[in-house]
């Protein structure tokens, strides 16, 4: 007879704590630590065994109620500054959760260092950007090949006419103009590609929302029209003034939305419409069923951009999950599941908003809205 080994609740709890990525502590009714995993100890500057048996007062934030009073209510999520062993404060995302009476402890404290989260988000953003860049390589190569081909052909014609002594001044000026335009086009493509691929911190500067849209379309143009049979329709408001934001970050948002639209129209193709316009705070509020931003007690206007596709709509059952990291409806190997997660994170960094709605005629529209801040005063 084979003996079956069973685990006690305490053993199961201990194994679970060791295998989670965030810091986890378990407190008894008196606020004494009964379990601690390696991550929690590392964040707080202790060894796990030195935390067990000690009061949570050694790390507990002074601005929160004592932990032993929080074990009988609902789960609580908030930002806090925990105290490390050397007395320094470490900012964390903190979750306080009551535990079942079947386990002889009353409260579980889980937390993640904000600096660790920022590093992880930056790494995810870079990974997703590089994945997108790999997908767009063929499109970018073709976009660059077109102006280079024009330059090469024009130089050939110029050489031939010079040798035959048939080159007029008018034709010479025309050739020079063609070479110059193609050279600037090539430089622009290289600049967009370099900016998109460059791994840098968020840098806010004066820029133009329409220019951000055009940069994103530059990277997808050939792929959409050639490989995927997708027409691109622009409806860009020419009266939008400058805006202060991270140009590269917002370009990544637009590319993520465009790639999502592309995949929604695969394999049959269709049309994607990209629009920019000025949006009122009331429109933003109504779209989100929430509140718009205020500045000096005055509503903040927004600059908005939308990407509309003619593909399949988003299943109503998964709308609440589409911004979750690694969530994807695409087949294996066809997507990272990070596009919308990163887009939402970048919009949050800008105090912006992002939302989607299914179109009555099919397909979906994703809209982003950026507070224009003092944009109109920046000339």
Report d(CA 13, CA 296) in Å as an integer: 50
What is the per-residue pLDDT across 328-340, written as a single tens digit (0 to 9) for each? 776 655 555 677 8
Q: What's the rounded mean pLDDT across residues 24-51?
A: 86
What is the per-residue pLDDT across 254-298, written as a single tens digit (0 to 9) for each? 988 998 999 899 888 999 999 999 998 888 777 766 555 555 455
**28 pLDDT above the threshold of 90:** no
What is the per-residue pLDDT across 67-118, written as a single tens digit (0 to 9) for each? 544 544 455 656 678 888 888 888 887 788 777 555 555 678 888 876 665 6
Quick one: pLDDT at residue 9?
47
Quick one: pLDDT at residue 128?
56
CA atoms within 13 A on the CB side of 144: 15
What is the per-residue pLDDT across 215-259, written as a single tens digit (0 to 9) for each? 889 888 888 888 889 999 999 999 998 899 988 889 889 988 998
């Amino acid at each position: 007879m084979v003996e079956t080994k069973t685990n006690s609740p305490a053993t199961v709890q201990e194994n679970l704590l060791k295998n989670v990525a965030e810091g986890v502590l378990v407190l008894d009714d008196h606020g004494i630590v009964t379990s601690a995993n390696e991550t929690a100890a590392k964040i707080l500057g202790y060894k796990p065994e030195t935390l067990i048996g000690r009061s949570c007062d050694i790390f507990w934030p002074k601005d929160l109620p004592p932990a032993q009073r929080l074990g009988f209510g609902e789960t609580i999520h908030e930002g806090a500054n925990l105290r490390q062993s050397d007395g320094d404060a470490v900012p964390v995302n903190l979750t306080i959760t009551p535990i079942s009476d079947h386990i002889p402890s009353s409260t579980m404290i889980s937390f993640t260092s904000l600096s660790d989260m920022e590093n992880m988000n930056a790494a995810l953003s870079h990974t997703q950007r590089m994945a997108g860049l790999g997908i767009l390589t063929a499109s970018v190569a073709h976009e660059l090949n077109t102006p280079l081909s024009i330059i090469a052909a024009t130089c050939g014609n110029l050489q031939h006419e010079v040798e035959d002594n048939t080159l007029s001044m008018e034709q010479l000026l025309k050739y020079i103009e063609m070479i110059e335009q193609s050279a600037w086009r090539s430089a622009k493509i290289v600049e967009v590609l370099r900016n998109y691929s460059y791994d840098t911190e968020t840098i806010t500067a004066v820029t133009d929302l329409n220019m951000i849209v055009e940069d994103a379309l530059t990277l997808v143009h050939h792929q959409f029209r050639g490989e995927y049979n997708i027409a691109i329709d622009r409806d860009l408001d020419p009266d939008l003034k400058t805006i202060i934001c991270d140009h590269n970050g917002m370009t990544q948002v637009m590319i993520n939305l465009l790639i999502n639209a592309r995949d929604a129209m695969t394999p049959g193709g269709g049309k994607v419409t990209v629009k920019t316009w000025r949006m009122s705070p009331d429109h933003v509020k109504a779209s989100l069923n929430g509140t718009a931003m205020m500045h000096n007690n005055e509503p903040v206007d927004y600059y908005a951009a939308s990407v509309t596709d003619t593909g399949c709509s988003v299943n109503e059952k998964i709308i609440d999950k589409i911004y979750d990291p690694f969530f994807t409806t695409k087949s294996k190997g066809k997507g990272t599941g990070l596009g919308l997660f990163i887009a939402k994170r970048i919009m949050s960094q800008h105090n912006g908003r992002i939302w989607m709605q299914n179109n009555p005629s099919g397909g979906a529209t994703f809209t982003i809205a950026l507070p224009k801040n003092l944009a109109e005063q920046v000339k």
